[in-house]
């Protein structure tokens, strides 16, 4: 499991890898709050993620809505194929993509 937030003058890069379970929600929430407090364009990299707890998806959806209200883009790189299929199966992929159509 790995959660990393990198920042530069252009924005943030939130990298997720491994298994993001319920135990990592506090850390993920803190990173999302940090991004929301000082909104900049953000990219979520999760191509190396094996699984993510539903609460983690909720954190990402909340971050998406927060940045959307600040008119700041949030981009999701393509997730690992098995995660992509699970997100599509439960309608979560469309929810993530619809909150920032760019």
pLDDT score at 99: 72
Mention every residue, 6+ apart, whose C-beta is less than 8 A from residue 58: none
pLDDT per residue of the chain (102 residues) written in tens, 0 to 9? 789 999 998 999 999 999 999 999 999 999 999 999 999 999 999 999 988 999 999 999 999 999 999 999 999 998 889 899 989 998 888 888 887 655
What per-residue confidence (pLDDT) applies to 62?
94
Give residue 73's region: left, alpha or beta (phi > 0; psi -120 to 50). Answer: beta
Find, among 28, 11, 87, 91, the residue nearest to 63 by Cα. 28
Q: Indicate the pTM of the whole model.
A: 0.90
Assign a CATH topology to domain 2-98: Transcription Regulator spoIIAA (3.30.750)
């Amino acid at each position: 499991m790995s959660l990393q937030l990198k920042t530069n003058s252009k924005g943030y890069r939130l990298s997720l890898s491994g298994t993001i379970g319920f135990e990592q929600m506090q850390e993920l929430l803190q990173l999302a709050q940090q991004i929301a407090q000082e909104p900049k364009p953000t990219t979520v990299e999760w191509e190396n993620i094996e699984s993510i707890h539903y609460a983690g998806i909720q954190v990402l959806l909340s971050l998406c809505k927060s940045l959307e209200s600040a008119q700041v883009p949030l981009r999701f790189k393509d997730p690992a194929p098995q995660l992509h299929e699970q997100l599509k199966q439960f309608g979560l992929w469309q929810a993530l993509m619809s909150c920032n159509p760019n």
